[in-house]
Structure 1
Amino acid sequence: MTSVSLLTGSVMVKRIVPMGQTSLPVIPVLSDGQFQCSSGHCIQEHFRCDGERNCHDLSDELDCPPRYPGDRYCREEKFQCDNHLCVEMRDLCDGSNYTCNTLQRFQCNNHKCIPLYQKCDGIDNCGDGSDENNMSICSHRPRPCILNEFRCANQKCIGSNKICDHADDCGDSSDELGCYTASNCTVGGCEQTCTDLKDGGYVCHSIRGFRISPNNPKICNDIDECAEFTHNCSQLCTNLNGTHACSCREGFVAEINGVCRLEQGAITLIYSDSPEIRAFNLTSHTAKYVIKGDNIESLDYEPVSGIVYWTDSYGKTIKRSYLPGSPERANVTMGYAQNLDIESRAKPTGMAVDWAGLNLYWSETDRTGNKPRGSILVSTLDGRYRHSIIATGLEVPTSVVVDPDHGYMFWIDIGSIPKIETSWMDGSKRRIIVSDAISQPTGLSIDFAMEHTIYWVDVKLNKIEMMREDGTRRTLVAYGNYLKHPLSLDVFESSIYWVTRDSGEIYSMDKFGRGVPVKLPGEFANPSSIKGAS
C-alpha cells in the first residue's frame, strides 16, 4: 500500500492507495476561497493576482487586471516585470532571472534557478532550502519491495525467509507478529493481508496505518498517529481509521503535507546580538537594530503589550523596552531600556514571561562559593514582589520557559548532573523529566500550536529533540555537525529557528527535521537568544 495527501479545505488528508496504483485520480475539488493552479495545486483565493508567484507555473498571475494607479500591477517600491510579477528593487541586475526553464532547471522559492540534478541531493543549493523540501518535492517514499521481500510496518523491506524466524529483523517486530506455523493463507482468516511461509504456515500483517493486534494476531488495530506523535502535523491532528488528518488553528492556513502558515502578516525573529536586540523580518529578509543594551544573554517577548524583556549579564539585572514597530508602537523607531532594578550578585541566565498571570520568571547562577548555586525566581512584570520559588537542588540553570495555559514551568540544569525539570508555576510538584542521553542542553521552547510540545537543543551533542510536556514521546528531530552547536531556539509556524554557538549564525529547519538547515541571510556579531513573533 502507498499513501497520498490531498488538501481538502483547511485539512490535509492522507489516503491509502492499493498496491500497484501509484496515485489517486486527479479530481479538482475546490473549497470556498480557493484557487486551483493549472498544475492542479490549490492556493488561497486571496493569493490570486497579488503579484507574487504562489503557483509554481505562474497561473495565479495570468489575466490579472491592474491593481495600482497608472495601470500598474505592482506597488511603486517594487519593479514590475513584463509578465506582471513584482520583485524587490534589490533583486534587479543580480544575475538571476525570475523565470526558469523547469524542464532542465529547478526554480527556487527565492527565484534562483539551479540545475535540475541538484534538486533533492541533500545540499542547500538554492540558499533557502526549497530544493531540499522534504515536505513536498523530496518527501520520503518507501522503495517498492521486490519479489521474495516482506514489507514491515515501518516500511522497511526484509527477505521473506526472515519472517517468523524469532528475530526482530524489521526493527518494529512486525515480522514476528501474526505468525502461524500450520495451514496457509487460504484458510488463515487474516483480516487484511497474508503471506504464506516457504516452509509452511503463514503470517498475518497489516496495511499502512494499522498494526497487528497484540490480543488477536489475525486482526489489525488502527494506529493513532496523533497520540503516538508520528503525525507530522504542524498544529492540529485528528486520528482517522487507518490514517489521520492535519488542520490549522485560527489565523493560519494549511499548505502541502499538513504545514500551517500565518494567514496575514509576517514573522519577525527578535534576537540578541551582543549589546543589541535586533528584529529580522522573514518576508523581506531585512534586520533592524531596535534596542541597545549591554551584554544581553536571554530574552522573551510579551505580545499583548509589545514589550521585550531581557537579562543583562554584565549588570546582573533585568531590563525591558517596547518593541519599536509593534502595532502598539508603530511610530517608535528605537526602544529605550527600563531597568527593573532586579539586581543580584548572581548572574541571570534564562527568562520567560507569563502573559496570563503577568509575571516574570528567570533563572540565575551564583558562582561566588565553591560550588555554583542556581535558583529560579518570579516577580510581577515591573519587577515588584520578587521571591524565589526554586532554591535548592539546582546548580547551573541555562533556560526557563512557562506554559500559562497548563500552569507548568520547565527549566534546564547543566550542573554536575545535566537534566530537564518541570514543576507547577509556583515551584511545587517538581520532578525530573529528562536525565539520560543529554550532555549540555542550553535552550528550551514550547510549541503551543502543536499541543504544547517541548523542544530543546544540546549544544555539546549537536542535537535538537522534542517531547510531550510529561516527558513522554521523546523524539530526535535533528542530529549532526551540520547543526553547528545550537545554543538557543524557538518554534514558530512549521519551523525551528536556532542560534549557533561557534559560527554566530541563525538557522531554520522544518520542525520535524525534514529537509536541510537554511542559514538566514545577514550579518550577525554574536547572537545568543532568539524569539519568534508575528
Structure 2
Amino acid sequence: MAMMKIRVTLLFVGLVLVHISTAYDMMFVSTQNGIRYYNLSETDEDGTYIPVKDLDNIVAVDYDPTEGYVYWADVKKSAIYRATLSGSGKEKIVSVQTPSSLALDIDERMIYWTDTGSRNIKRSKTNGKDSDYLVTEDIIKPSSIVLDKRYGKMYWTDLSGTPRIERANLNGQQREILVNSSMGEPSSLTLDQDQDKEILYWVDRKQNQIKSLDLKTKQNKQLSVTDVNSSTMTLYGDFIYWIDSNKKDRNLRKYATSSKNSGTGKVLFSLAAWSFSGLKATKTSSGKDILIIAEKRGIMTLETTGKRTLGKQIELLSGEEPVAIEYSKEK
C-alpha cells in the first residue's frame, strides 16, 4: 500500500476550511454537530463519523497525519485533547485555561496554542510533554495563530486595547510588532506564499476592510474593496473570497488582490438566510477550482463557472460550536 501524506490546518470560531488534493478526493468538514470525513471520488453520502463523545465547546482543531490523531481545543473543558480517526485513544494533552486557537508543526512534532485566559502562547510536544511558554509578557487577548515553516516564524493577532499583529521565531524569540496602528479587530490571518510571495492578509471586522502586509518590503496596504463585513475569509490564487456576515442576503463575494478598482467585490451568489460556518477556496485533484462552503444544512461547492451543488449535512467531533478544517492528502 502506498504511503499517504495528510495535512490538516484549521481556522476557528465557526470557520470551516477544506482543502482537497489527492489521487482520490477526501474532505473533512466540521459543523455544530460534529465531524465526518468524506471520500468525494465515490458515492459517499453518509461519510465516516468520528465517534468522540463528551465534547462541550470546540474552538480549534488540527490533524496529525504521522500518528493519525485529531487534535481539538475544548474551551469549556479548558483543555486540548486528541483521538484517532476511529474515535479511540481519546486523551487529554494539556490543560489550557481559555484556548482560542492551535496549530501543529508536523515536522517537529510540536503543537502551538493561544490562551486568552492566561494571556500567553505556549507549545509542547504533540503528546503534551515538555510544554514551554513562548510569549507571556505584554499580551492581552491572543487569537488567530499561523505558522510559517518557510521562515520559521509564527504570527498571531492580539485583540487587546491596542489591537496588533505580531510575529516571533517558533521558539518565541525575536518578537516584533508588525502592525499596531489603524487597527480595529484583526481576524482570519492567512499567508500567501505562492512562488516567491510572502504576504499576510487579514480582515478587520470593525473597520470592514481587508488589509495586507508584504512581509518582505513591510509595505502595509488596504485593499480597494470596501464595506467588507465579514469574519470569514479565504485566499486562493489571486482572489480573496468572503461571506457578508451581517447583511440580509449574505452574499458570497470575490475580489482580485491585485485590483485597484474600488467596490464591494463581485457577488458570486447569495446565501440568503443560511447560517454558514465556513468557507474555503481550493483545487481538486482533477484541477477544478472550487469553493467549499459549510453551513448547518450541509456543504455547497461552487465552481468558478458559477455552477453549484448542495451536499448532505455532515457531522464531526460532536461539539456546540462550529470549527474549521483544511485537509489535503497526497498519494
Q: Same fold (TM over 0.5)?
A: yes
**Does residue 318 in structure 1 map to residue 112 in structure 2?**
no
**Alignment match, 1:299:** 61
Instruction: Report if the CA contact (8 A) 1:408-1:425 is conserved.
Output: yes
- TM-score calculated relative to the size of structure 2: 0.62
> How many Å separate the matches in 1 of 2:136 and 2:181?
23
Matches within 5 A, 1:424-463: 424-450=169-195, 451-463=197-209
Q: 1:340 aligns with which of 89, 92, 97?
A: 92
**Alignment match, 1:17:** none
> How many Å separate the matches in 1 of 2:208 and 2:191?
19
- Give the 3-state SS of the residue equivalent to 1:361 in structure 2: strand
- Give the 3-state SS of the residue equivalent to 2:119 in structure 1: strand
Q: Which amino acid in 2 is paired with 1:338?
A: K
* Inter-CA distance 457–521: structure 2 relative to 1 (3 Å threshold): closer
How many aligned positions are there?
253
Instruction: Report if the CA contact (8 A) 1:454-1:466 is conserved.
Output: yes
Instruction: Report if the CA contact (8 A) 1:467-1:473 is conserved.
Output: yes
Instruction: Report if the CA contact (8 A) 2:164-2:180 is conserved.
Output: yes
* Inter-CA distance 521–355: structure 2 relative to 1 (3 Å threshold): closer
TM-superposed CA distance for 1:406, in Å, is: 1.0
**Does residue 276 in structure 1 map to residue 34 in structure 2?**
yes
**Does residue 357 in structure 1 map to residue 108 in structure 2?**
yes
> Whose Rg is larger?
1
> How many Å separate the matches in 1 of 2:172 and 2:136?
9
> How many Å separate the matches in 2 of 1:492 and 1:277?
24
Instruction: Report if the CA contact (8 A) 1:318-1:341 is conserved.
Output: yes
Q: Which amino acid in 1 is paired with 2:31?
A: D
**Does residue 530 in structure 1 map to residue 324 in structure 2?**
yes
Matches within 5 A, 1:112-127: none
* Inter-CA distance 447–304: structure 2 relative to 1 (3 Å threshold): farther
> How many Å separate the matches in 2 of 1:484 and 1:279?
30
**Alignment match, 1:330:** none
Gaps of 5+ in 2: 1-19, 260-264, 272-291, 298-319
Instruction: Report if the CA contact (8 A) 2:210-2:225 is conserved.
Output: yes
**Alignment match, 2:143:** 398
> How many Å separate the matches in 1 of 2:246 and 2:79?
26
TM-superposed CA distance for 1:337, in Å, is: 7.0
Gaps of 5+ in 1: 1-260, 324-333, 367-372
TM-superposed CA distance for 1:496, in Å, is: 4.8
Instruction: Report if the CA contact (8 A) 2:38-2:48 is conserved.
Output: no
TM-superposed CA distance for 1:267, in Å, is: 7.1
Greater alpha carbon shift after TM alignment, 452-461 vs 467-476: 467-476
Matches within 5 A, 1:356-375: 356-366=107-117, 373-375=118-120
Normalized per residue, which structure has more helix? 1
Matches within 5 A, 1:160-309: 265-266=24-25, 268=27, 270-274=28-32, 276-278=34-36, 290-291=49-50, 292=52, 293-305=55-67, 307-309=69-71
> How many Å separate the matches in 1 of 2:254 and 2:182?
23
> How many Å separate the matches in 1 of 2:21 and 2:146?
23
- Give the 3-state SS of the residue equivalent to 2:165 in structure 1: strand
> How many Å separate the matches in 1 of 2:203 and 2:38?
22
TM-superposed CA distance for 1:378, in Å, is: 0.5
> How many Å separate the matches in 2 of 1:433 and 1:478?
21
* Inter-CA distance 430–339: structure 2 relative to 1 (3 Å threshold): same
* Inter-CA distance 495–389: structure 2 relative to 1 (3 Å threshold): same
TM-superposed CA distance for 1:435, in Å, is: 1.2
Map Cα deviations across residues 238-278 of structure 1 (whole Å, 9 max, x no partner).
xxxxxxxxxxxxxxxxxxxxxxx96855474x454335235
- Give the 3-state SS of the residue equivalent to 2:94 in structure 1: coil
Normalized per residue, which structure has more strand? 2
Greater alpha carbon shift after TM alignment, 391-400 vs 284-293: 284-293
Which gives a bigger RCO, structure 1 or 2 (Cα 8 Å, sep 6+)? Answer: 2
* Inter-CA distance 288–445: structure 2 relative to 1 (3 Å threshold): farther
Instruction: Report if the CA contact (8 A) 2:253-2:266 is conserved.
Output: no
* Inter-CA distance 266–315: structure 2 relative to 1 (3 Å threshold): same
> How many Å separate the matches in 1 of 2:83 and 2:224?
34
TM-superposed CA distance for 1:319, in Å, is: 1.8
**Alignment match, 1:412:** 157
> How many Å separate the matches in 2 of 1:342 and 1:354?
16
Q: 1:386 aligns with which of 114, 118, 131?
A: 131
Matches within 5 A, 1:6-155: none
Q: Which amino acid in 2 is paired with 1:277?
A: I
Instruction: Report if the CA contact (8 A) 1:491-1:511 is conserved.
Output: no
Instruction: Report if the CA contact (8 A) 1:296-1:311 is conserved.
Output: yes
> How many Å separate the matches in 2 of 1:265 and 1:470?
37
* Inter-CA distance 485–515: structure 2 relative to 1 (3 Å threshold): closer
Instruction: Report if the CA contact (8 A) 2:83-2:89 is conserved.
Output: yes
> How many Å separate the matches in 2 of 1:412 and 1:527?
21
% identical equivalent positions: 24
TM-superposed CA distance for 1:449, in Å, is: 3.4
Instruction: Report if the CA contact (8 A) 1:499-1:528 is conserved.
Output: no
Matches within 5 A, 1:458-497: 458-469=204-215, 472-477=218-223, 479-481=225-227, 483-487=228-232, 489-492=233-236, 496=240
> How many Å separate the matches in 2 of 1:457 and 1:303?
30
Map Cα deviations across residues 354-393 of structure 1 (whole Å, 9 max, x no partner).
1221110000022xxxxxx510000011111112110010
TM-superposed CA distance for 1:480, in Å, is: 4.4
* Inter-CA distance 288–415: structure 2 relative to 1 (3 Å threshold): farther
* Inter-CA distance 263–337: structure 2 relative to 1 (3 Å threshold): closer
